[in-house]
């Protein structure tokens, strides 16, 4: 039995070595990619090439972008220079669902953010609370909605974000149902998930309506998308508010907030007033990171109206365009809200 035992011993030793040593990692799953400026650029460009959904829509030749920007990144490119190069490259896509973060240095970049940032300066929640609501406003339990009345004649709802499900919307509707008209203020509302959108929109819907579609990129081709998923506005909850409603938006009404806008704007009793929304309808890709620790995300879906046109990059265009100036806000006038009040009176 000696040869048998020798064979057994050799096999056991080899198998154990193979299966326990850290040196197995390289042949079995490969090395970590090197943390160099060139490699980080290549990975970032490649991930957008593989997953970003809106190259065709935005008319961007991503390969030409590579040709233009890749030579600027070399082995000697610094951390800061790489940041400047890739953010300049991503700015071409003008899509505020594209983000890049350096969590160590606390750097943050959002593509096409200039319009959004300007809209923030043309809005003041404290002005609305003090002047137009007369400091008589309430918040829902989760703090996601502020509501009150405008001169005891028009109901007012301010939705701050869609990170919450807004389950208290029925309480808000029941309190404001007495008013003959309502303002739903989505200016500077932040995005979030669809649950809040479904809950709020359902309380204004008069009937089921097909509003738009979403398609998800599902292949390496820039125009590879799955079948459209139809998005409806569906009545829900114990009561629906179907009296005249004005929805206010600005360029800082992104993502889930503009999903609510597009649904509400489809209703016959709703008038959309303000500026176009941010134009980022896709969900954001989960945050991925680069070897240097930067986090990034992007749009990977395409929204289309039933007629084949898209609000991506454009936003939901209002029925009546009007926007504040910084000076008006600074001098205590929310021209947009005053116009809405006048419109509903």
Partner 1 sequence: MAIPPNPAFRATLSSLVVLLWFGSFSGFCQSTLSRSSSFGILIGNSNFHALDLMLSPLNYRANNFSAELFYRHQGSSVLQEVSLVGSGGDINTVVPHFSMTGVRAALSYSYLRQVSASGSKESEHAFSVGGILRAFMNVEGSEEQEVVSWLVVYSVNLAVQGDFVFNSNHQLSWQIHLPLIAMVHRPPYARLNESLTEGNNRFLMAISSYGNIATIIDYPMIGNVLTYRYTMSDRFHLLVKHNFEYHKYSSPDTIKMFFVNILVGINWNL
Residues 33-52 close enough to bind partner 1 by CB under 8 A: 33, 43, 50-51
Q: Which residues, including other chains, have CB under 8 Å from residue 179's CB and lie 6 or more apart?
A: 149, 153, 154, 155, 243
Our finding on whether 288 is near partner 1 (CB under 8 A) is yes
Question: Parallel, antiparallel, or unpaired: how do β-strands 301-304 and 295-297 relate?
Answer: unpaired
Which of 20, 106, 126, 331: binder of partner 1 (CB under 8 A)? 20
Shortest CA distance to 82 belongs to which of 37, 33, 44?
37
Nearer to partner 1, 240 or 297 (CB): 297
Figure out which of the listed residues 110, 290, 340, 341 binds partner 1, where binding follows CB under 8 A: 290
Report if residue 212 touches partner 1, rule: CB under 8 A: no
293 part of the interface to partner 1, by CB under 8 A: yes
Applying CB under 8 A, the span of 134-142, 176-184, 232-240, 279-287 interacting with partner 1 comes to: 279-287
Residue 165: half-sphere exposure toward Cβ, Cα within 13 Å: 2
Distance CA 26, CA 192 (A): 40
| Near partner 1 in 166-195, by CB under 8 A | 194
Let me know: does 47 contact 288? Beta carbons within 8 Å.
yes
Please report whether residue 286 would count as binding partner 1 according to CB under 8 A.
Answer: yes
**Cα dist from 226 to 52, 223, 284, whole Å:** 14, 10, 17
Interactions with partner 1, residue window 85-114 (CB under 8 A): 103-104
Binding to partner 1 (CB under 8 A) within 50-69 occurs at 50-51, 53
Q: How many residues bind partner 1 (CB under 8 A)?
A: 53
**Phi, psi at 49, each rounded to 5°:** -60, -35
Closest CA to 332 of 177, 128, 41: 128
By CB under 8 A, tell whether 302 contacts partner 1: no
DSSP conformation class of 274: E
Non-local CB neighbours of 5 within 8 Å, separated by 6+ positions: none
Check binding of 158 to partner 1 (CB under 8 A). Answer: no
Residue 300 binds partner 1 (CB under 8 A): yes
Under the binding rule (CB under 8 A), the answer on residue 29 touching partner 1 is: yes
Which residues are within 8 A (CB) of 1 and not within 5 positions of it... i.e. 6 or more apart?
Answer: none
**Among 295, 317, 322, 329, which residue interacts with partner 1 (rule: CB under 8 A)?**
295
The only residue of 6, 9, 10, 56 in contact with partner 1, by rule CB under 8 A: 10
- Write out the residues near partner 1 by the rule CB under 8 A: 1, 4-5, 7-8, 10-12, 14-20, 24-25, 27-33, 43, 50-51, 53, 103-104, 194, 214, 216-219, 224, 226, 229, 283-293, 295, 300-301
């Amino acid at each position: 039995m000696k040869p048998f035992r020798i064979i057994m011993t050799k096999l056991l030793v080899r198998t154990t070595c193979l299966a326990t040593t850290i040196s197995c990692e390289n042949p079995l799953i490969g090395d970590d990619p090197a943390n160099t400026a060139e490699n980080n650029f290549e990975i970032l460009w490649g991930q957008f090439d593989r997953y970003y959904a809106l190259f065709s829509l935005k008319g961007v030749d991503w390969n030409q972008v590579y040709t233009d920007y890749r030579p600027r990144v070399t082995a000697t490119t610094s951390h800061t220079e790489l940041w400047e190069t890739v953010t300049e490259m991503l700015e071409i896509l003008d899509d505020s669902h594209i983000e890049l973060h350096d969590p160590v240095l606390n750097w943050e970049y959002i593509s096409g953010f200039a319009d959004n940032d300007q809209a923030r300066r043309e809005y003041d929640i404290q002005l609305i609370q003090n002047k137009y609501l007369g400091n008589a406003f309430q918040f829902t339990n989760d703090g996601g909605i502020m509501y009150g009345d405008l001169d005891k004649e028009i109901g007012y709802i301010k939705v701050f974000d869609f990170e919450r499900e807004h389950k208290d919307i029925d309480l808000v509707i029941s309190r404001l149902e007495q008013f003959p008209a309502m303002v739903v203020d989505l200016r500077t509302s932040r995005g979030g998930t669809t649950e809040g959108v479904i809950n709020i929109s359902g309380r204004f819907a008069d009937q089921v309506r097909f509003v738009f579609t979403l398609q998800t990129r599902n292949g390496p081709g820039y125009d590879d998308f799955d079948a459209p998923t139809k998005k409806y506005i569906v009545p829900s909850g114990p009561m629906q508010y179907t009296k005249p409603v004005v929805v206010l938006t600005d360029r800082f009404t992104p993502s889930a907030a503009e999903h609510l806008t597009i649904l509400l704007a489809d209703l016959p009793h709703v008038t959309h007033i303000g500026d176009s929304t941010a134009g980022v309808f896709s969900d954001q890709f989960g945050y991925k990171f680069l070897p240097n620790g930067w986090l990034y995300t992007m749009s990977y879906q395409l929204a289309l109206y039933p007629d084949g046109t898209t609000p991506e990059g454009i936003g939901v265009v209002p029925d009546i365009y009007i926007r504040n100036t910084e000076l008006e806000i600074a001098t205590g006038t929310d021209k947009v809200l005053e116009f809405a009040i006048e419109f509903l009176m």
